A and B are shown apart, each in its own frame.
Chain A
C-alpha cells in the first residue's frame, strides 16, 4: 500500500518537473518585460524593481494603437465571416439532402490536403489585378467564402447530430431552410460555433504571412507584422520585444481561461496548428 503511495509521489514529482519546462519560459518573459533596461543583460532572474517602462517605450517603437486597431478589425471581420459562411455551408452538407452533395463534399475534403503555397501566387495576382493590395480585403473577403474546409467539416459533423425529425417538424410547420438554420440549428450548435470562432481568432490574430504579402504600407500593418519587424532589427531591444509579446499574448491567454473547453476541442480536432 505504501509502495503505491510512494509511486504516486514520484509521478507527481516528475509531472511538476515537466511543468517547469512548459511554464518557466512564460515567467521569465514576463519578468524580462518588467526589468529596467540595464538589468536585461544580467543573469539575475528577479528584477530589482518592477516597472512598466518597456511597455511605454513600446509605443515609441511601433505605432501600437494603429496596429492594434488593424489587428482587432481584421480579426473581428474574419471571425464573423468564417462563422457565418462555414455554418451556412455546413448546413448545406449536414442538414439538407440534395443532388451532388456527396460529390461536392469530396472536394471540400480534398482542399484540406492542398498546400497553400500552390494557390498563394495566383491568388496574389488576382488581388493585385483587383487593386486590393494594401487594403484589408485580401485578408477578410475570402473568409466569407466558405471559411475554410476544416471549419466546414467541423460544422457539418456537429450539424449532423441534430435529429432529422426536429428539422422535418420545422419544415412541416412552414419554416424556411434559412429560418431553420437560424432558429433551430444555430442555437443548438453554440459549441461548434465557439470552437470555430476561437480557431479563427487564433489564426488571424497570429497570422504573419498574409499581412506580410498584402500589407506593405506602414499604417496598414498588424500587431503580428509589427512584432516580426521589431524583432528583425539589428540590435533588438529584448525588454521592449518581450513587452510587445506579453501584450499580444494577453487576449489569447484570457480567452483560453474563459473558453478552455472549446480551445481544447479545436486543437484536438484540427490537425494543423500553424
Chain B
C-alpha cells in the first residue's frame, strides 16, 4: 500500500508539468473562451455579457462568415481527396522494387520539410503569372497559364496545388509503410484466381490499408480547416475575398478589430463544425474501413 502511494506521488510529480499546462493553457482557456463568446470584449474593458448575440450576428447577418465557410469547405473538400489519392498513387509507384527507388522516395519527401511562411513565399514566386516557373513551363508547352493568385477563380486552386506539392511526399511514406505491411500471400491468392492489377488493389491492398487511409482522411480534413498562414502571407484573403479562409477571418476579428467576443464565437463554431465532420466520417467509415483484427501486424 505504501509502495502504491509512493508511486502515485512520483506519477503526479512527473506529470505535473503537463497538469499545470493543461489547467492553465487548456481547461481554463476553453471555459473562458466560451464565456467570451457570449460577451462583447475588446481586451481593454472587462467583458460585457450579451447572450447569444455574437452567434446570431454570425449566422444571420454576417455574409463574410459564409464566404469564409465556403472558401474553407472548398479548400478542404478539394484538397483532401487530391492529397490522399495523389500520395496513395505515389506510394504504389514507389513500392515497386526497381533500381534507384529509394532515391526517388527521398526526393519526393523533400518538399514536406518546407512549410508555413517559406512555402508560401516560394510559391508566390513560382505562381507569378508572368515570370513564375509554372506559367513559364506552361508557356514552353504552348499553353497560356492562369493569373493564379490574382484571379479569384484560380486563387484557391493555386493554394491547393501548393499544398499538394508540399504534402504529397510525406503522406506517400505513410501509405508506403502501410502497403508494405500487407501480407504477401493474399496477393498470391488473387493471382491464382486470375485477378490482375486492379483486383489486387481493390481486394487486397485497399481493405488492408483502409484504417490508415481513414485516419489520415481525418487528419487531413482537420488540417485543411486550419489553413491560415498561406492566405495571410500570399493573398491577405483576396482577391475579392476568394481566399478569406475561416481562420484568417477569425484572426482579423481578434487581432485587427480586437473583437474578441465575436472571434471566440467564430472559434466555437469551427470547433463544432470540425466535430460534426469527424462524426460523419466515423459513420461513413463503417461502410469502407476494414479492420483485420491483427492479421498481418
A residues sitting closer than 8 Å to B (CB atoms) are: 8, 11-12, 14-16, 18-19, 21-26, 28-29, 32, 40-43, 85, 88-89, 91-93, 96-101, 104, 107-108, 111, 113-126, 128, 142, 144-147, 152, 177, 181, 202, 206-209, 212-213, 224-225, 227-228, 231-232, 236, 238, 241-242, 244-245, 248-249, 252-253, 256, 260, 263-264, 267-268, 271-274
B271 and A206 within 8 A (CB): no
The answer to whether residues A92 and B107 also contact, given A8-B98, A117-B250 and a CB cut-off of 8 A, is no
A252 and B121 within 8 A (CB): no
A236 neighbours in B (Cβ, 8 Å)? 124
B110 and A145 within 8 A (CB): no
B226 neighbours in A (Cβ, 8 Å)? 115-117, 272, 274
B43 neighbours in A (Cβ, 8 Å)? 125, 128
Complex Cα distance, B271 from A252, in Å, reads 32
Chain-A contact segment, one of B30-38, B69-77, B203-211, B283-291 = B30-38
- The verdict on B82 contacting chain A, using a C-beta distance below 8 Å, is no
- The verdict on B255 contacting chain A, using a C-beta distance below 8 Å, is yes
Tell me which residues from 173 to 226 in chain B have a Cβ below 8 Å from any Cβ of chain A. Answer: 173-174, 177, 215-216, 218-219, 222-223, 225-226
B133 and A108 within 8 A (CB): no
A122 and B28 within 8 A (CB): yes
B25 and A227 within 8 A (CB): no
Complex Cα distance, B203 from A14, in Å, reads 26
Shortest distance between the CB of A236 and any CB in chain B (Å): 7
The 6 closest A-B pairs by CB, nearest first: A98-B11, A145-B21, A146-B18, A271-B219, A92-B14, A122-B29
A91 and B219 within 8 A (CB): no
A28 and B126 within 8 A (CB): yes
B267 and A21 within 8 A (CB): no
B99 and A12 within 8 A (CB): yes
- The verdict on B268 contacting chain A, using a C-beta distance below 8 Å, is yes
Choice from A85, A249, A252 contacting B18 with Cβ under 8 Å: A85
Starting from the known contacts A26-B110, A225-B117, 4 additional A-B residue pairs (CB-CB under 8 Å) come to A28-B126, A122-B28, A146-B20, A241-B124
B128 neighbours in A (Cβ, 8 Å)? 238
Complex Cα distance, B16 from A93, in Å, reads 11
B234 neighbours in A (Cβ, 8 Å)? 231
The number of inter-chain residue pairs (CB within 8 angstroms) is 264
The answer to whether residues A32 and B125 also contact, given A26-B110, A121-B260, A227-B117 and a CB cut-off of 8 A, is yes
Complex Cα distance, B93 from A221, in Å, reads 43
B136 neighbours in A (Cβ, 8 Å)? 43
A23 and B110 within 8 A (CB): yes
A117 and B270 within 8 A (CB): yes
- The verdict on B241 contacting chain A, using a C-beta distance below 8 Å, is no
A242 and B173 within 8 A (CB): no
Shortest distance between the CB of A224 and any CB in chain B (Å): 5
Complex Cα distance, B167 from A89, in Å, reads 30
B270 and A19 within 8 A (CB): no
Choice from A8, A19, A121, A273 contacting B167 with Cβ under 8 Å: A273
B93 and A15 within 8 A (CB): yes
A124 neighbours in B (Cβ, 8 Å)? 254
Choice from A88, A126, A273 contacting B223 with Cβ under 8 Å: A273
The answer to whether residues A252 and B113 also contact, given A98-B8, A98-B12, A122-B29 and a CB cut-off of 8 A, is yes
A92 neighbours in B (Cβ, 8 Å)? 10-15, 18
Shortest distance between the CB of B98 and any CB in chain A (Å): 5
Choice from A119, A142, A249 contacting B118 with Cβ under 8 Å: A249
Shortest distance between the CB of B254 and any CB in chain A (Å): 6
B93 and A14 within 8 A (CB): yes
- The verdict on B159 contacting chain A, using a C-beta distance below 8 Å, is no
The answer to whether residues A245 and B98 also contact, given A114-B26, A119-B26, A122-B36 and a CB cut-off of 8 A, is no
Choice from A142, A202, A260 contacting B106 with Cβ under 8 Å: A260
B228 neighbours in A (Cβ, 8 Å)? 209
Complex Cα distance, B122 from A242, in Å, reads 7
B154 neighbours in A (Cβ, 8 Å)? none
